[in-house]
Amino acid sequence: MTTAATTPVPPAPSAAEEAEIAAGIRVGDARCLALAYQRWGGLVQGLATRSLGDPLEAEDVTQQVFLAAWRGGAHYRPERGPLAAWLVGIARHKIADALASRTRRTALTAAAAGLPQGPDPAAQPEICLDRAVVRAELARLPDPHRRVLWMAYFGELTQAEIAARTGLPLGTVKSHARRALHRLRASLERAESE
């Protein structure tokens, strides 16, 4: 499969062609989105690769940018600037999101690595009981929520990896994780107060 980073850059579209591509994106024309990807996908992926330093993560960000352009095409205003600038603006936001996510993952990993290793859990019945309660509450979550949490915490997958494996949009994965954590927290707080 050829990616945007390895595809030769097509010649710049004329002002009329760019206006046609922009108009098509605004009304949801898939052909125009494909033309925009052919023309500016390399630019977006190059920017993401330089910012993130990870070609695979940059590829994910590039996909997110063009998905956001597809979903939000009606928000593009040609009077505010060229289509390429709009796509670069979306890319900057997606890159910032990816860097923030990376920072959160790094902080969680560092925090988990710093946790003291306690005695054998089997030697402390309350730890076994806590684990049993968490597993029981996790089993009560709706399947999509449970599956996302399971993949994130036990499978150690990022939300982008979960989206790729499940075929769910990244935003849906994030929503499932957030809702699942809220439900799990509420269930555990109820169990603790009883």
Domain chopping of the chain, boundaries: 15-106, 118-188
| pLDDT value at 9 more than 70 | no
Give the CATH architecture of domain 15-106. Answer: Orthogonal Bundle (1.10)
Contacts 24+ apart (CB under 8 A), 71-74: 73/25, 73/26, 73/27, 73/28, 73/33, 74/26, 74/27, 74/28
Q: What percent of the chain has pLDDT over 90?
A: 23
pTM: 0.52
> Token pair for residue 125?
């019945």
Distance separating alpha carbons of residues 167 and 63, to the nearest angstrom: 13
Query: What is the fold of 118-188?
Result: Arc Repressor Mutant, subunit A (1.10.10)
Q: Residue 167: left (phi > 0), alpha (psi -120 to 50), or beta?
A: left
pLDDT in tens, 83-106: 999 999 999 999 998 888 888 777
